[in-house]
Structure 1
Amino acid sequence: MIINNLLLKLRNRDTDNIKKTQEILLSMRGKIEVLKDIQAEINIRPGGSNYDIILITKFSTLEDLDKYLAHPKHLEVAQFIGSVLDTQASVCYKL
């Protein structure tokens, strides 16, 4: 199992914008066959240096992760994220 974690810090960090971003991330659920599981959790301890959302995605293989990254639904969501993103960090690992 491949786990990919993406931390997102948004430019506009108000509650409504963070919630909307979470909903858009979760809109990929059930739309990308290789995506085995998806979570988008909002940070409950916001602050200046903290990130706003963690996106956790799970795949069977690294090849499936690559297919996800190229999928039209992911590209649509990524375009939105790029428009609201301040900074990001990621960690990908194998279980």
Structure 2
Amino acid sequence: MVTHIVLFKLKDGSKESVERTAQVLRDMEGKIDELKAIEVGLDVIHSARSYDIALITRFDSLEALEAYQVHPVHKKVIEHINEVRESVIAVDFES
């Protein structure tokens, strides 16, 4: 199992903007065969070091993660993220 975690800090951290982007992420569910699990969380602390959104996804293998990265549905999500993000960080690990 491979877990892919991405944190997003948006240019506009308003509740509406954060929820709109979170919904774009949630909308991937059921549309990408390689994507076995998805969880989208919104920051509740809002500290100076906080990111706005956490995306946690799980895949059966590194090859499945690679296929997800180039899937047309994911590429549309990346287009949205590139427009709204201030910064993004990620970590991928096997378990």
How high is the TM-score relative to the length of structure 2?
0.98
Q: How many pairs were matched up?
A: 95
**Distance (Å, rounded) in 2 between the aligned partners of 1:78 and 1:94:** 23
Q: Which amino acid aligns with 2:30?
A: G
**Distance (Å, rounded) in 1 between the aligned partners of 2:14 and 2:45:** 13
Q: Which runs of 5+ in 2 are unaligned?
A: none
1:41-81 Cα offsets, whole Å, 9 max, x none, are 00111122210000001000000000000000000011001
Residue 80 (structure 1) aligned with residue 75 (structure 2): no
Q: Which amino acid aligns with 1:80?
A: H
The equivalent residue for 1:30 is: 30
Q: Percent identity?
A: 33
Q: CA offset at residue 82 of structure 1? A: 0.6
**Distance (Å, rounded) in 2 between the aligned partners of 1:65 and 1:20:** 24
Which residues in structure 2 correspond to 1:1-95 (within 5 Å)? 1-95=1-95
1:10-42 Cα offsets, whole Å, 9 max, x none, are 000000000011000000000000000011100
Runs of 4+ residues over 3 Å off in structure 1: none
**Distance (Å, rounded) in 2 between the aligned partners of 1:50 and 1:5:** 15
**Distance (Å, rounded) in 2 between the aligned partners of 1:84 and 1:47:** 20
Q: Which runs of 5+ in 1 are unaligned?
A: none
* Secondary structure of 1:44 counterpart: coil
